[in-house]
Structures are given as structure tokens and as C-alpha cells.
Amino acid sequence: MKFWLVGVCVGLVLAGQSPGDTFALDQERYLDKCKGAWVGQMIGVCFGDIYEFKSNGKTVEGPLEPWKPERIRGAIGQDDCYVEMTFLKTLETHGLNPTYEQAGADFAATQFPLWHANRVGRDNVRRGIMPPLSGHFEHNRHADDIDFQIEADLFGILCPGMPQESNRLGNIFGHIMNYGDGVYGGLFVAGMYTEAYFEDNDVEKVVRAGLACIPAESLYYKCIADVIEWHKEHPGDWLAAWNKIEEKWQDDVDCAPGDPFNIDAKLNGAYIVMGLLYGGGDLAKTLEIAVRCGQDNDCNPSNAAGVLCCMKGFSALDPHWTDGFAAIEDTRFDHTGYSFKTLIPACRKLTEAIIRQAGGEVKDGVYLINRQEPKAPEPLEQWTDQMKILSVPIMPAEMAAWNPAWRLAACGTDMQPGIHRKFQRDNVLLLHPVNRETPAVITAELAVPSAKKPVLEMEVTSDPKGDFVLKVFVNDSLAVEKRIASHGKWQTVTVDLSKYAGQTVPVRIENHANGWEFEAAYVSTVRIAGAG
């Protein structure tokens, strides 16, 4: 009854108002919706994690695993949660207006596992390539990937009715790892949350509010607009809309060309919207549709359920979904200092500061919010020549950062080739064979010193779960052929260069498959040594 009365009172206050007016939001209602937003994300990611990337370019068929309350415990270790909390900590530490450098440095200091745009963005900052360049497609082939989209919920959660504020914060943090459509996906998701605080039932209105936060010229906007239109054309047939999405937007212009796997932000954003629109305000249906669409189908239901549960508020959720929550609310999320009991007060404190900074007030348990019109960022940052870069598994800038003497001649796309922090070392180059028959290859023209015993020294290791065959050619002659099965322990491989002393010779290093299981080669250093 208490929350029903609050909802009625707030509804009466808001009647007839529009952006630009002052909106009243009861603090208790804010906290209920904030709690719903976080719990929705947690439910969504745990509901979908068993299906993640197991259905690419096709729908998930058959019955889905029934929800059990204890499954929510899995959210404690999910990057959908702990990355957002890194951003939260930055805002607590540096205030509401952090610089690119402050946000980037905090992200670079993290030690948790990351993938795709997040991983490359963090590695870029560690090498001194600061945001926004760390997320730019010239330095990050994953610039249009989903990464910021799955962790931007925070900025909408902190900014009820203030999409310009969520966009401002999103542009700071989103450019650490993404650019263009990759950033727009995050601004879109955050924008939906800003509206969800003032809309309990109309899902399409919330989706359109998020869409208004990004440029209409962007491919991301056009993709989501198509989904809204196709939902109107086929309101009772989500599969018809899904097929249209696949036909128009599953274009294989992504970080893994030639593979049905697709982590592109706008495609997965379309699946978020599919869940929301076809779910019609029902949590179970929203989760089911977002999962059945495939691809990143733990992150997509996490975003969709987070938005929907923010609309509804935690108190409105069926105990079927939340009964397991009390058992973990004192447990810290991995890699963070936050438990659920400390997370919500931290959000409340920052939200109140943002309200005041935006010209509103906090008075007598009520938030008086200056409602903002969504405003898309300018100028348009659209990546239009993706295949020029995406056709190369490791970008020249990455190779130069690893060792400027070496060039990439061939490489596959499995296991995220490029520079990694791996096995207690920074600046490790990961290579992977193109296929079972074709090796990964790097080449260099090396000046061999006039030393008594010049040698080429390489520090290499294999993946803990696999091995590979290393071949080294000097002056087009095979100098070393060796199976590497050191499983994460570094070993030194040497090549005698005595007969080339005083010459400049071509050197080629090849990573060959040996059974096609975790065939990555990790190369820490390659150098010439020897007595003078």
C-alpha cells in the first residue's frame, strides 16, 4: 500500500508536465526503482548466461532453463556488474566531472578479466593512448562492439529524468573503450533508464526516449528505429521481426568477419529492444525474447530486464524472481568494494549530487528534478570504412606498440589476437593460426651485429589448455621447428645467427596448429643478443 500511494502521488504531480518542467520524485520511489534496475540486470545476466554465444545468427530453440532463485548468485562474478562499479568508484573518488584521463587511469588500474573493446581500451590506456583515442577505431578494432552498451546502465540509473547528464557521463566513460556506434549503444541504454524513473508501463515510450539520446544519422539509430517499425508491423510475431533484423543488419561488418558470432552494438541493441517491445512489460517474456534472439544473450536480457525492472520498481517484482536475492545482498561483487547494501546508498548519494548540479533540489525526502530534453551528441562519429581495419586481425598500431620492428603477415581471429597482459607480463603478443593448415606469421628485417655469437632470443609460451608448433626462418631457411607446450610458463627459444653477423636478414616467425585446440602463441619479447 505504501508504494502504491507514493506512485499515485507522484503520478498526480507529474500529470501534464513535460521535459523542461520540474518533476517531483519521492526518494523512496527512486530507491525502489534504483534497486529494481540493479536487480533486473542481475536477473537478466544470470538467466541468459548459459546461452551466451551458443546461438549465433539463429534463434535459441526448445524450452529455456526454468529460473531458480539461487541462480542470481552468479551475478556477483559478472562483468555486466563489476565494470559499472568501477565507474561508480571513479565518480565517488573524482566527483561528477572526471576527466578522460582520470576515468581512463582508474579503468587501466583494474585487474579483472576483460574482452573485446574493454580489453583493448584498457591496454591502450596502459600504453599511454588515453581516451577518447583509446576507444577510437584506429586504435581499437572493437570500437563498435557491445562493451560500453552492457555497462552504461549505471549512468541512466544515476540520472533520473536527466538524459543530458547521462549522455555527458557516458561520453566520458564510453570513449575509454568504444567510439561512434559503440558509444551510442551505451547512451541509448542509459537514456532508457532516465525515462524509466517516470514511466511505469509504456515500454515503447522508454525505448523512444533512449533513441532520442543518439544522432538520427547513426546506423545505431536507424537499426533501432527499424525494430520499432517492424514491431508495429508484426506485433504478435517476434520471429518475423527477428528475420528482418537478420536480413538487413546482420551484415558481418564486425570484429570477427566471416564468423556468425557478432558482438556488434547495434545488432545486440536490436535484441534488447526486441525483448522490451515483445515482452510487453512482462519480465518472463522480456527475458525469453531477449535470450531467444541469440548472440550476446546474457548481456542483452541484462540490459532489457534492468530497464523494465527500473520501470516497475523492486517492490513490484514477483518473489519468484527475487527470493534468492536476500542471501547475497551482503556479498561483495567480484573485484569491487560494493555489496548490494552499499551499492544502493552510493547511487543515491551521487544521484542527489547530480540533481543539484543540474539545478534541481533535494528537499524533505523528495527529489525536485529539472527534467531535461534528450540531446544527441555532435558531431556524428560514424565509422564508415570498417572493413579496411577489420580485415586485419591485429592493427598496425598494436604491432608497433608491441615491437616496431615486426609486421603482421598472417593471423587468424580466434582467441582475440593482439596485445595482452598475460602470465604476469605486460605487452604480450597473442597470435593464432589462420586455420589448421595456415600459420600465423610475423616478419622483420633484422640487423645482426658483428658479434662473436649473435643469437635471436624469443620468450614464448602456449595457452594453458593447448600447444602449437613454432617455426623460425632466417633468410628463408628453417632455423627452428619446435612444439611449444609450456602452458603459461615462459621459455626461451634461441636461434644461432653467427653466419649472418654484420648482415641484415629477413626473419619470419610462424605459429602452426598442432591439433586445433587453443593454438595461440604468446610472444613476450624477441631480441638479438650476443657477445661483442
- Beta pairing partners, 492: 459
Residue 252's pLDDT band (cuts 50, 70, 90): confident
pLDDT in tens, 321-359: 999 999 999 999 999 999 999 999 999 999 999 999 999
Residue range 466-487: mean pLDDT, rounded: 97
* pLDDT computed for residue 352 by the predictor: 98
Residue 1's pLDDT band (cuts 50, 70, 90): very low
Nine cell digits for residue 121: 581500451
- Indicate which CATH number applies to the domain containing 496: 2.60.120.200
- 290 and 411 belong to one structural domain: no
- 399 and 355 belong to one structural domain: no
Last residue within a domain, chosen from 370, 400, 435: 370
SS3 category, 348: helix
Count of positions (residues) in the chain: 532
Residue 504 belongs to a domain: yes
- Indicate which CATH number applies to the domain containing 115: 1.10.4080.10
Locus of grid cell 599511454: 128
- 359 and 429 belong to one structural domain: no
Opening angle at CA 324, ends 320 and 326, nearest 5: 120
Nearest residue to 207 (alpha-carbon basis) of 272, 142, 160, 127: 272
**How many domains does the chain contain in total?**
2
SS3 category, 511: strand
Q: Is the pLDDT of residue 509 over 60?
A: yes
Residue 529 one-letter amino acid: A
* pLDDT computed for residue 6 by the predictor: 35
- 331 and 410 belong to one structural domain: no
CA 197 to CA 160: how far, in whole Å?
6
- Per-residue exposure over 104-133, b if at least 16 CB sit within 10 Å of its own CB, e if not: bbbbbebeeebebbbbbbbbbbbbebbbbb
What is the enclosing helix (H) or strand (E) of 468? strand 468-474
Q: How many helices (H) and strands (E) does the chain have?
A: 19, 13
Q: What is the pTM of this model?
A: 0.85
CA 523 to CA 458: how far, in whole Å?
7
Residues 6+ apart with CB under 8 A from 497: 448, 454, 455, 456, 474, 505, 528, 530
CA 274 to CA 297: how far, in whole Å?
12
* pLDDT computed for residue 3 by the predictor: 32
Nine cell digits for residue 34: 534504483
Last residue within a domain, chosen from 340, 370, 400: 370
Q: Is the pLDDT of residue 13 over 90?
A: no
Burial of 5 (0-12, 13-18, 19+ CB in 10 A): exposed
Residue 292: left (phi > 0), alpha (psi -120 to 50), or beta?
alpha
* pLDDT computed for residue 182 by the predictor: 96
Q: Which residue has the higher pLDDT, 285 or 419?
A: 285
Residue 378 belongs to a domain: no
pLDDT in tens, 366-420: 999 999 999 999 867 778 777 777 778 888 878 988 999 999 999 998 898 998 8
C-beta separation of 311 from 286 below 8 A: no
- 467 and 500 belong to one structural domain: yes
Pairing of strands 407-410, 440-447: antiparallel
Residue 459: left (phi > 0), alpha (psi -120 to 50), or beta?
beta
* pLDDT computed for residue 2 by the predictor: 33
Locus of grid cell 522490451: 276
* pLDDT computed for residue 138 by the predictor: 85
Nearest residue to 190 (alpha-carbon basis) of 149, 222, 218, 221: 149
- 202 and 241 belong to one structural domain: yes
Q: Is the pLDDT of residue 177 over 50?
A: yes
- 94 and 43 belong to one structural domain: yes
DSSP class of 370: E
C-beta separation of 201 from 311 below 8 A: yes
* pLDDT computed for residue 421 by the predictor: 81
Residue 31 belongs to a domain: yes
* pLDDT computed for residue 208 by the predictor: 98
Residue 379 belongs to a domain: no
Q: Is the pLDDT of residue 531 over 80?
A: no
Residue 320: left (phi > 0), alpha (psi -120 to 50), or beta?
alpha
Q: Is the pLDDT of residue 19 over 60?
A: no
Full 3-state SS string of 28-55: HHHHHHHHHHHHHHHHHHHHHHHHCCCC
Residue 396: left (phi > 0), alpha (psi -120 to 50), or beta?
alpha
Residues 6+ apart with CB under 8 A from 213: 163, 166, 167, 187, 188, 190, 191, 374, 375, 376
* pLDDT computed for residue 18 by the predictor: 55
CA 285 to CA 444: how far, in whole Å?
56
- 86 and 15 belong to one structural domain: yes
Nine cell digits for residue 118: 574493454
CA 316 to CA 325: how far, in whole Å?
14
- 360 and 396 belong to one structural domain: no
Residue 361 belongs to a domain: yes
Residue 253 belongs to a domain: yes
- 409 and 366 belong to one structural domain: no
Pairing of strands 418-422, 455-462: unpaired
* Average pLDDT value over all residues in the chain: 93
Locus of grid cell 549530487: 353
* pLDDT computed for residue 20 by the predictor: 60
Residue 330 belongs to a domain: yes
Residue range 471-481: mean pLDDT, rounded: 97
* pLDDT computed for residue 313 by the predictor: 98
CA 482 to CA 505: how far, in whole Å?
21
- 422 and 283 belong to one structural domain: no
- Per-residue exposure over 401-431, b if at least 16 CB sit within 10 Å of its own CB, e if not: bbbebbebebbbbbebbbbbebbeeebbbbb
* pLDDT computed for residue 378 by the predictor: 80
Segments forming the whole domain that contains residue 99: 2-370
Residue 37 belongs to a domain: yes
- 397 and 354 belong to one structural domain: no
Residue range 106-115: mean pLDDT, rounded: 94
Burial of 434 (0-12, 13-18, 19+ CB in 10 A): middle
Q: Is the pLDDT of residue 216 over 80?
A: yes
pLDDT in tens, 191-210: 999 999 999 999 999 999 99
